[in-house]
């Protein structure tokens, strides 16, 4: 019998497939559907202090090997989002509150509210590649990031996961700073900054011009980042980027991830993708003589 339960620090997951932030997670009903579809944990939409509409459409365009999006961090603001989280209080799987802000004080306020709303961990979005003053603009500054993590850890009793960007030139410096600041896990990777131009009109398709690329095309980039992080830190890692099948997930686990997040594959394979991937992981492990996920995790990090 193959076991696929896993842990991220103190957090226990019945399976390693988590819903990635930004997909089907703006309201309670959507997240409930993803839980029913078999997700082992849910990461919320990235939530800020006040409501934000996001960018004008087009906010998404499908490319040959992935999806390009610039939603622009749309969210109802932390106070209204509390109503959505209230409906998830009886959730059978961990809920991870994703938050974005420009400085430590704002992050602490958001973290405290997420804690009040009953989330089980926090994910810091310091890697969105297309939001002015937020996301990657915060996540590329090791000193600022350390201050944010330390401030939250001092004031909020929740595990802190830090989602990093593949666009960083100083990825290892950043993850080492994250580790020194006592974060609990690293989530790698966010989308890759990219652009699509429509030839007939000679204009970028996305209203924001640039966006974040996700899906199959970025999987090798994510696997490389996870492997680099795993060989330079001892923090648990959550792998994300182009995971569509069980074998994609296995690859990330072997590279050093303890769990994975699924985003674009909700489009490619439908909301039932969590169950599909879990079944495929079990099937692969069974046929390759693995019985526990811990035997797969970091298998390639030698």
Partner 1 sequence: MPLNQPIITTIRTRRQEAADVTTISFRYPGEMKPGQFFMVWIPGVDEIPMSVSAIAPTIKAITFRTIGDATQALSELQPGDQLGIRGPYGNGFTITGKRLLFVGGGTGIAMLAPAVEQARKKNRKVTVLLGVTTKNQLFFEKRLQRTGATVLVSTDDGSYGFKGFASDLAKELLKKETFDAVYTCGPEPMMHALLKFSYNIPFQASLERYMKCAIGICGQCCVGKGVRVCVDGPIFDGKALKKIQDFGVYRRDAAGRKTFF
Q: Which is nearer to partner 1, 83 or 247 (CB)?
A: 83
Strands 6-8 and 197-198: unpaired
Cα–Cα distance, 283 to 163 (Å, whole number): 29
Binding part of the chain for partner 1, among 2-10, 145-153, 200-208, 238-246 by CB under 8 A, reads: 200-208
Query: What is the nearest approach in angstroms of partner 1 to the Cβ of residue 121?
Result: 21
Of 128, 140, 225, 278, which residue is the catalytic one?
A: 128
The answer to whether 128 is a known catalytic residue is yes
Q: Does the protein bind partner 1 through residue 26 (CB under 8 A)? A: yes
Binding part of the chain for partner 1, among 21-29, 142-150, 238-246, 251-259 by CB under 8 A, reads: 21-29
Question: 22, 266 in Cβ contact below 8 A?
Answer: no
Instruction: Single out the residue of 31, 148, 229, 296 in contact with partner 1 (rule: CB under 8 A).
Output: 31
Q: What would the DSSP string read from start to end of 203-263?
A: EESSTTSEEEEESGGGHHHHHHHHHHHHTT--S-EEEESS--SHHHHHHHHHHT-SEEEES
Non-local CB neighbours of 288 within 8 Å, separated by 6+ positions: none
Instruction: Report which of 294, 285, 281, 271 is spatially closest to residue 42, judged by C-alpha positions.
Output: 271
Query: What is the nearest approach in angstroms of partner 1 to the Cβ of residue 291?
Result: 34
How many residues are recorded in the chain?
A: 302
Query: What is the nearest approach in angstroms of partner 1 to the Cβ of residue 8?
Result: 24
CA count, 13 A, side-chain hemisphere, 246: 17
Query: What is the nearest approach in angstroms of partner 1 to the Cβ of residue 31?
Result: 7
Binding part of the chain for partner 1, among 144-152, 166-174, 264-272, 277-285 by CB under 8 A, reads: 264-272
Torsional class of 297: left (φ above 0), alpha (ψ -120 to 50), beta (otherwise)? beta
Q: Which is nearer to partner 1, 41 or 171 (CB)?
A: 41
Binding part of the chain for partner 1, among 124-132, 146-154, 229-237, 265-273 by CB under 8 A, reads: 265-273
Query: What is the nearest approach in angstroms of partner 1 to the Cβ of residue 27?
Result: 6
Instruction: Single out the residue of 4, 13, 18, 34 in contact with partner 1 (rule: CB under 8 A).
Output: 34
Instruction: Report which of 231, 249, 237, 129 is spatially closest to residue 190, judged by C-alpha positions.
Output: 129
Q: Does the protein bind partner 1 through residue 289 (CB under 8 A)? A: no
Q: Does the protein bind partner 1 through residue 130 (CB under 8 A)? A: no
29-48 exposure pattern, b = at least 16 Cβ within 10 A, e = fewer: ebbeebbebbbbbbbbbbbb
Question: 45, 34 in Cβ contact below 8 A?
Answer: no
Here's the x/- map for partner 1, 216-255, by CB under 8 A: it reads as ----------------------------------------
Among positive and negative, which fits the CA dihedral 178, 184, 189, 191?
A: negative
Q: Does the protein bind partner 1 through residue 89 (CB under 8 A)? A: no
Number of helices (H), then strands (E), in the chain: 11, 16
Here's the x/- map for partner 1, 49-88, by CB under 8 A: it reads as --xxxx-xxxxxxxxx--x-x-x--xxxx--xx-------
Q: Does the protein bind partner 1 through residue 196 (CB under 8 A)? A: yes
Residues with active-site annotation: 128
Interface residues with partner 1 (CB under 8 A) are 22-27, 29-34, 36, 45, 51-54, 56-64, 67, 69, 71, 74-77, 80-81, 196, 198, 200-201, 203, 205, 207, 263-264, 266-267, 270-271
């Amino acid at each position: 019998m193959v076991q696929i339960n896993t842990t991220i620090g103190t957090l226990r997951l019945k399976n390693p497939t988590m819903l990635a932030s930004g997909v089907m997670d703006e309201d309670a009903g959507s997240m409930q559907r993803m839980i029913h579809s078999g997700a082992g944990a849910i990461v919320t939409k990235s939530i800020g202090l006040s409501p934000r509409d996001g960018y004008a459409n087009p906010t998404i365009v499908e490319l040959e090997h992935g999806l390009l999006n610039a939603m622009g961090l749309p969210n109802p603001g932390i106070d209204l989002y509390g109503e959505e989280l209230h409906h998830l209080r009886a959730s059978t799987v961990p809920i991870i509150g994703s938050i974005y802000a420009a400085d430590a004080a704002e992050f602490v306020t958001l973290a405290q509210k997420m804690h009040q709303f009953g989330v089980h961990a926090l994910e810091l979005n310091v890697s969105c590649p297309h939001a002015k003053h937020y996301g990657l603009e915060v996540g590329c500054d090791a000193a600022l990031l350390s201050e944010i993590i330390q401030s939250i850890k001092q004031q909020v009793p929740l595990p802190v996961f830090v989602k990093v960007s593949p666009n960083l030139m100083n990825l290892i410096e950043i993850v080492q700073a994250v580790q020194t600041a006592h974060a609990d896990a690293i989530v790698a990777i966010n989308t890759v900054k990219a652009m699509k131009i429509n030839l007939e009109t000679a204009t970028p398709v996305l209203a924001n011009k640039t966006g974040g690329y996700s899906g199959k095309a970025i999987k090798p980039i994510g696997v490389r980042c996870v492997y680099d992080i795993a060989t330079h830190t001892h923090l648990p890692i959550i792998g994300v980027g182009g995971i569509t099948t069980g074998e994609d997930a296995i690859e990330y686990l072997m590279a050093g991830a303890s769990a994975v997040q699924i985003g674009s594959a909700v489009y490619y394979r439908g909301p039932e993708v969590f169950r599909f991937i879990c079944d495929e992981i079990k099937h692969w492990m069974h046929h390759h003589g693995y019985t526990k996920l811990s035997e797969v995790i970091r298998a390639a990090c030698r």
